[in-house]
Every structure is written in C-alpha cells, then in structure tokens.
Amino acid sequence: MLAFENAPPFAAPLRFFLTAPLFAALAGLLVAFEGPDIFASRWTPGALAATHLITIGFMLQVMLGALIQILPVVAGASLKRPVAVARVVHVGLTVGALLLAAGFFFGAPALLGIAALTLGLSMLFFLAVTVSALIAVPTTSPTIRGIKVALFGLSGVVGLGVVLALALAYGWPLPLMALADLHAGWGLGGWAGVLLAAMAYVVVPMFQLTPGYPARASWWFPLFMLLMLLLWSIGVLGDWSLLVRLGQLGAALAGMAFAGLTLRLQGQRRRARPDATYRYWQLGLILSIFGLFFLLTVAIRPALADIDGWTLMFGVLLIAGGFIPFITGMLYKIVPFLSWTHLQTCGQAKVPAPAMNKILAEPAMHRQLLAYAAALALLLAAIVIPAWLARPAGLAFAVANGWLWWNLAGAIGRYRHHQADIEAKLAAKLTAP
C-alpha cells in the first residue's frame, strides 16, 4: 500500500536522516566538554546549546525529512519539486541550528540574531510549501488533521523561538522564562507530539501489526492538544497562572493517554518477534510517561520546578528518553523500507530487490539500542550526581548517536551497492538475445 511512484526521490529525505545523528552526537560531545556545570540548570549556555542541537538538529531535522517523504503516502499531498525544497530546508536548518547553538554557548547576540533569521525564514519557506500542498486536501482522516494541527504548532514554536532569540540578543523586556516554557510546550506538544501521534496512527499498525487507534480518540487528540496550548498561551499573555497550569495539566494528561494507548496496542501486536523499532518505541513510551509525570506535578504544584533537577529530569526523560527513541525507531524502519522500495522500482519487476534485513541487519540495530539505553541511564543518573557522571554520560550519548549514524550510513552504502548490482543485471537482461 506504499506504492512509491508518486513519492519523492530518496535523496530528498536522506540528507536529513544522515545529518540528524551527527547533531545528537555533537550535543553529547558538548555535554562531555562542559562537564558537571551543564547540569546546574536548564538555563546554562551549554544546556541551551545542547538542547537545541537535539531539538532542531536531530528532532526537527528528521521530522521535516520524513514529512517531505510521507505526505503523498499518508495525505495524498505531493510537494512540488521535493528535492529542491529538501535542499533549501536542510541547509537552512543545519546552518541555523549550528549558529543558534554557538550563539547560546558563546553568548553572542549577533549569532543569535542570524540564527533566528535563518531558522525563521527556512521554516517559513517549509510551512508555505507544505501548507500550499495540503490546503486543498480534505481532512478525511485523523492523520491528516494531525499533520495540519502540527504545522500550526510548528509555526507557534518557531515564532516564539525567533522572538526569544531576538529578545535575548537585543535585551527586549519580555518574560523570558514563561515564554521559553511556552515555546517548549508548542515545540514538544503542539508540533512534535501531535506529529508523532499523526504518524503513529499509520505506522504503528502498519509496521508492528497492531490493532488500529480508536477513531474518536485519534480525531480528538490533535485538537485537544491545540486547545491546551492555546489556553497556556492566553495564560502567559494575560499573566493568568491558573490558565497556564490548566494548559500544562491537559497537555501532560493527553500525552500520557496517547503513550498509554500505544503501549496497549503494542501489547496486542501480531508480529511475534520484537524488533529494534518495537523496543525503541517501548522505551520511548514508558520514559515519556515518566517525563510527562514531572510536567503534571509542576502543573499541580509549580513550586516543584524550583527543586534542583526537576525540570531537567522532565526534559531529559521526554526528549532523550521519549522523542529520540521514537525517531530512531522510525529511522530503523524507514531507511531500510525506502531502500527496499527504491530497489524494487529500480529492478522493474525483472530483478528482485534484496530483503530489508540485507540492507540493515537486526543485530546491528539492537546493539546500538543497548548503547543508547546505557547512555540514557548515565544521562539520567548524571542529573543526580553530575560531578561524577556528566562527562561519561555526554561521551556515551555521543558514541550511541555516532553509532546510529554508522548504521544508517552503512545501510545507504549497501543500498547503493545493490542499486549498481541491479542496474548491471537489468542491463544484461535487456541486452541478452
């Protein structure tokens, strides 16, 4: 059901997928370089730089690449000139993320300003292209609704991010902490969370052979999350803390409900053997429930946010414990699957494509997963005992993500090898008398 004749060329998403792990590895190296100081608070220059290397450099990178690839398949909407769009967005995102991280790390207002401009314009371009492709598409499924709401969420997180970067750079008198929380809420909830759910509705049943997501909950989740973020935003604008807390509470509960439902569906899967994607998703679902629990507690008792490590624990659990595992698990399905479908097309039904596990073998993915889980455990422990564990945790995180890059790059190398082989066999068949 994933005929790819109307899908973009492999080069369009691939550049995003191969760049992303390098950003996560760089974030790990930064933690290792900075050491215990980075865990002092989430507002340290190093913590801000590392966070954005991961959220923009890794998460946003893969999500946009995947969206360019998957829009025709899940929404029937094709981008015009997808490779050109991918090239522009990829360069803007990569340069912008590096500049932003450098701006935070060195406290350089000029870099923050240029980064805000680069990222803002790149995302404006991406939004213009995707919205024009989706505008005529009727909302016939919860996935399409989710994608539309997520794009609104993307505009929210980017808009707030640009304002915050400029406010930091030029000393604008704004309530930076409340706006930064809201920025994170739009990014993790309104954009990443809703997009993740919209994709999960399709890929969890398809790849893990689970039952489908119940229709009513699927329709409501994106709208409910949007409503909670609007309440939170109005709360910040009007300085009504009760509204802010209500929005946070609702967003946390919705996220936990989605994760709980997905765990339940995975428990009913018909695929007997768990693969790396399944294990990565299990890890991500469980840890994101713990992460959202921290948000829930802060929504109920805001004073908890003042406890050392409380908000860091939320961030590490949700981002490094939840989103990175979801995304890595998806990459481990998408890259071999796209390789296989492109090889199928290349063979023109005359030369068969190799099996997907010949492109990326399960043991390689499983070993990297173990390395990532170990890095994650160290990272969480480093919040409690930074003096001993900050540097080992950073190094382990860099190694695990470097390993992810190695696995993906190896898969692409084998894909190219098979492609050349298939083309040679095809040419031999066509020229044979």
Q: Give the footprint of another protein on this chain (CB under 8 A).
A: 1-7, 72-76, 140-141, 143, 201-202, 205-207, 209, 211-216, 218, 270, 337
CB of 64 to another protein, least distance (A): 20
Nearer to another protein, 141 or 407 (CB): 141
Q: Which amino acid is at 233?
A: S
Number of Cβ atoms within 10 Å of the Cβ of 378? 19
Nearer to another protein, 9 or 214 (CB): 214
CB of 420 to another protein, least distance (A): 24
CB of 293 to another protein, least distance (A): 27
Nearer to another protein, 41 or 268 (CB): 268
Nearer to another protein, 4 or 293 (CB): 4
All residues at 6 or more sequence positions from 143 whose CB lies less than 8 Å from its CB, including other chains = 74, 75, 198, 199, 201, 202, 218
Number of Cβ atoms within 10 Å of the Cβ of 178? 16
CB of 212 to another protein, least distance (A): 3
DSSP 36: G
CB of 424 to another protein, least distance (A): 25
Nearer to another protein, 2 or 427 (CB): 2
Nearer to another protein, 77 or 373 (CB): 77
CB of 84 to another protein, least distance (A): 22
Nearer to another protein, 5 or 306 (CB): 5
Nearer to another protein, 201 or 314 (CB): 201
CB of 242 to another protein, least distance (A): 35
Dihedral class, residue 44 (left if φ above 0, else alpha if ψ from -120 to 50, else beta):
beta
Long-range contacts of 358-365 (CB under 8 A, 24+ apart): 358/414, 358/418, 359/335, 359/411, 359/414, 359/415, 359/418, 360/332, 360/335, 360/336, 360/407, 360/408, 360/410, 360/411, 360/414, 362/275, 362/276, 364/407, 364/410, 365/275, 365/276, 365/332, 365/407
Q: How far is CA 110 from CA 57, 115, 153, 169, in A?
A: 20, 9, 27, 7
Q: How far is CA 281 from CA 56, 71, 288, 330, 401, in A?
A: 21, 22, 10, 9, 17
CB of 147 to another protein, least distance (A): 12
Q: How is the chain split among helix, strand and coil, in percent rounded to 5?
A: 85, 0, 15
All residues at 6 or more sequence positions from 160 whose CB lies less than 8 Å from its CB, including other chains = 179, 182, 183, 186
Nearer to another protein, 136 or 242 (CB): 136
How many CA atoms does the CB half-sphere of 249 hold within 13 Å? 12
CB of 344 to another protein, least distance (A): 8
Nearer to another protein, 144 or 180 (CB): 144
Residues counted in the chain: 433
CB of 155 to another protein, least distance (A): 24
Q: Which amino acid is at 325?
A: P
Nearer to another protein, 55 or 69 (CB): 69
Rounded Cα–Cα distance for residues 56 and 410 (Å): 24
How many CA atoms does the CB half-sphere of 159 hold within 13 Å? 12
Rounded Cα–Cα distance for residues 423 and 411 (Å): 18
| Burial annotation 393-403 (CB, 10 A radius, 16+ → b, else e) | bbbbbbbbbbb
Q: Are 317 and 290 in contact (CB under 8 A)?
A: yes
CB of 136 to another protein, least distance (A): 14
